[in-house]
Structure 1
């Protein structure tokens, strides 16, 4: 179990480094804005530097913005997910301060594309290993549970505010290049992780009782079991069906590998659910 946590922390560390590289070498020098709280911190840092005597760096602002969100996430989303997310934010803020802001290319389009791709690789693998880059993901999840609307709506709304604000203050050309960066990063994250908020796992196993107990100990999700029989071996098994959020996929994968490494699991993207699905 220790090696698993070490590997997870390593992924979070690499994700934070990639995010800082994308910001300080590509997006910030080109005045192209990132998505989520990183983009807000970047925008606020520039506004404060130009319109007030107080100047705070993007890294410091990112950390400050995430402190109240971490408290909310700890209470409303889940302690493990929130803890690793805050570690990711802290490391990102640290590397944003350590890595110097330097222009690699004078081409704004190259900066937007490469900045978006590099940041997305870090975010995608961080999500895949059961954490997030903080801020927006946690806020969107809390609002989604309160209003029973998809997380994507809130993410899109906040990113739209960033783009519109950047357009009004610094010209619509910068806003359009910000759109390029956001589109690029979204596509890469979808390829690495998954674009759907909910997933259906179908698990064929001989150890259904042990697996059910292990899943219920970690996840508060209903499980439907269906008798199954191998067509070639004629072995009697059980098919377990469970609907989860994409943030629970990491935990489910680890549970299955620990309890029954020989289980066959099919993960299907779920586009809609009718009926009860626990959100709190």
Structure 2
């Protein structure tokens, strides 16, 4: 049994490191093929690293490249993650950021276009997909991800306001550095990046599920075997058409767990009626897997 667990852990580690490498390739493509040629700033720490690079090129004899700045600016956040989140999470985060810094430095820029609108859209899309894929596979890309996890664990609040403030600063910096039209282009890139990341990373999207079934025990067992979620039971419901006895089950899942829910329902009660709707806000405990 121990050998099987070791093999599974090794397999997971290889999978996560492979994902970290793929993320590094995608962010370097976004940076070297689109953002840098189009004078577009990214979001978060990556955008701050670009700003540091711009300022040192113009005002300092020592130039700090975007690749180096990305790693150095993340170092305090690595320490925070080591102390507040977990050692394993920190190791994978360091790996993903280090690989991203290396690939940005190593991958030769290809100037496909300097059109700022095209660079903003495609750079944001490529980076958003890479970031979303990394998060989906349990890897942080560093930066504001770490702050978000720590703040949510301590206060239960999201990092939305900090993200807005930080990215507003990046957009204003783009305006001062390259002219105000580029501030709007950078804002467009941030929007595309966020939308693609949301489409790719679905763990944070909550969905309310209502199940109407005549086989409640079978459905509950099947769902909880597939997903670690609590279920609320409403007894003595009645179908209006045949007037047969039904039970209503309520639960909340993440969009990432949708396939598991569908498999559970196919196994337990394919004829059950299942209604799924997006949840805007949750008060109370909602289990999230440990990182």
Give the TM-score normalised by structure 2. 0.73
Q: Does 1:274 align with 2:280?
A: no
**Structure 1 residue 209 displacement after superposition:** 8.2
Q: Does 1:61 align with 2:77?
A: no
**Alignment partner, residue 141 of structure 2:** 133
Inter-partner Cα distance in structure 1 for 2:87 and 2:279: 25
1:167–1:208 CA distance, 2 compared to 1 (3 A): closer
Inter-partner Cα distance in structure 1 for 2:36 and 2:199: 25
Inter-partner Cα distance in structure 2 for 1:278 and 1:48: 45
**Structure 1 residue 113 displacement after superposition:** 1.2
Give the TM-score normalised by structure 1. 0.76
Residue 221 (structure 2) aligned to one of 206, 215, 220: 206
Inter-partner Cα distance in structure 2 for 1:150 and 1:88: 23
Inter-partner Cα distance in structure 2 for 1:123 and 1:98: 20
Alignment of 1:43-58 (within 5 A): 43-58=51-66
- SS of the aligned residue for 2:206 comes to strand
**Radius of gyration: which is bigger?**
2
Alignment of 1:22-37 (within 5 A): 22-37=30-45
Count of residue correspondences = 262
The CA deviation string for residues 67-112 of structure 1, in whole angstroms up to 9 with x for no partner, is 1101211222334433322221111001011012342213221111
**Structure 1 residue 173 displacement after superposition:** 1.2
**Structure 1 residue 168 displacement after superposition:** 2.4
Q: What are the ranges of 5 or more consecutive residues in structure 2 without an aligned counterpart?
A: 1-7, 212-218, 236-248
Residue 165 (structure 1) aligned to one of 162, 170, 173: 173
Q: Does 1:11 align with 2:39?
A: no
Inter-partner Cα distance in structure 2 for 1:61 and 1:266: 48
Contact 2:67-2:101 at 8 Å conserved across structures:
yes
- SS of the aligned residue for 1:132 comes to coil
Inter-partner Cα distance in structure 2 for 1:263 and 1:17: 42
Q: What are the ranges of 5 or more consecutive residues in structure 1 without an aligned counterpart?
A: 216-221, 229-238
The CA deviation string for residues 156-176 of structure 1, in whole angstroms up to 9 with x for no partner, is 221111111221233111111
Alignment of 1:92-107 (within 5 A): 92-107=100-115
The CA deviation string for residues 226-274 of structure 1, in whole angstroms up to 9 with x for no partner, is 599xxxxxxxxxx794667x9xx6xx89x99xxxx96899986532122
Contact 2:37-2:113 at 8 Å conserved across structures:
no
Contact 1:22-1:116 at 8 Å conserved across structures:
yes
| Structural RMSD (CA) | 3.9
**Alignment partner, residue 216 of structure 2:** none
Moved more, 160-169 or 56-65: 160-169
**Alignment partner, residue 219 of structure 1:** none
Inter-partner Cα distance in structure 1 for 2:224 and 2:151: 35
Q: Does 1:121 align with 2:129?
A: yes
Contact 1:151-1:197 at 8 Å conserved across structures:
no
Residue 184 (structure 1) aligned to one of 179, 182, 192: 192
The CA deviation string for residues 124-158 of structure 1, in whole angstroms up to 9 with x for no partner, is 11111111211111112323444543222222221
